[in-house]
């Protein structure tokens, strides 16, 4: 038995700068129809950057979606014609000022496959050179440095809630440091 859903109709609802929204009518394996609301996204990167004295770099910013400030790893959207490696280097420098001489992709995950095709590529950035941050004009960012232990403690206490950030820190601890 196939679980594939055949698209019978696809309707564009909204085309935006960050996302597009479409509603697909699908035929299920039992021939019944259903609707799927799908957020199309061009993908993003998140960068876990480690300073030369072993601090992890986070950015604090207000997230309108949840009306609260979040502590996250530097991150951003992959722009048209950009490859994720380029986005990672660009976003790290824009948001924190740091350039990395050792940027490595750790993994790529689906952030919310129930309703979006967004892929987040997670990078590890080491061997850093400090420079000047140049956030986008609508970004208000505070750079925060934490030790790995402090970051793990914040995950445990629910003070770090962003999924890519939790994933990156735990991935680093479990699979990079071992
Ligand atoms: Mg960003």
Q: Is the pLDDT of residue 13 over 80?
A: yes
Give Cα separations from 79 to 87, 131, 140, 163 (angstroms): 7, 23, 20, 22
In the predicted model, what is the mean pLDDT of residues 75-86? 96
Which superfamily does CATH assign the domain made up of 44-176 to? Answer: Nucleoside Triphosphate Pyrophosphohydrolase (3.90.79.10)
| pLDDT for the residue 47 | 98
Find the 43 Cα to ligand 1 centroid distance in Å.
12
Whether the predicted model's global pTM rises above the 0.75 cut: yes
For the stretch 30-77, pLDDT in tens is 999 999 999 999 999 999 999 999 999 999 999 999 999 999 999 999
For the stretch 110-168, pLDDT in tens is 999 999 999 999 999 999 999 888 888 888 999 999 999 999 999 999 999 999 999 99
Confidence band (pLDDT; 50, 70, 90) for 1? low
Q: Residue ranges per domain, the chain?
A: 6-41, 44-176
- 128's enclosing H/E stretch is strand 119-129
Find the 75 Cα to ligand 1 centroid distance in Å.
4
Known catalytic residue: 137? yes
DSSP letter at 176? I
- 106's enclosing H/E stretch is strand 99-110
Tokens, residue 159: 């003070």
Please say whether the beta carbons of 39 and 115 come within 8 A.
Answer: yes
Residue 116 in 3-state DSSP? strand
First-to-last C-alpha distance (Å) of the chain = 40
Find the 74 Cα to ligand 1 centroid distance in Å.
6
Catalytic residue among 11, 82, 130, 137: 137
């Amino acid at each position: 038995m196939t679980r594939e859903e055949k698209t019978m109709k696809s309707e564009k609802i909204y085309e935006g700068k960050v996302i597009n929204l479409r509603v697909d009518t699908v035929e299920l394996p039992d021939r019944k129809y259903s609707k799927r609301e799908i957020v199309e996204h061009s993908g993003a990167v998140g960068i876990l950057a480690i300073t030369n004295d072993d601090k992890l770099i986070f950015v604090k910013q207000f997230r309108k979606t949840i009306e609260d400030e979040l502590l996250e790893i530097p991150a951003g959207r992959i722009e048209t014609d950009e490859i994720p490696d380029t986005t990672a280097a660009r976003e790290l420098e824009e948001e924190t000022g740091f350039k990395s001489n050792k940027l490595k992709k750790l993994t790529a995950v689906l952030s919310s496959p129930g309703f979006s095709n967004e892929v987040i590529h997670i990078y590890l950035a080491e061997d850093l050179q400090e420079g000047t941050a140049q956030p986008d004009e609508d970004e208000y960012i505070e750079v925060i440095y934490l030790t790995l232990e402090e970051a793990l403690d914040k995950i445990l206490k629910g003070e770090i809630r962003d999924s890519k950030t939790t994933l990156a820190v735990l991935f680093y601890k479990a699979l990079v440091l071992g």
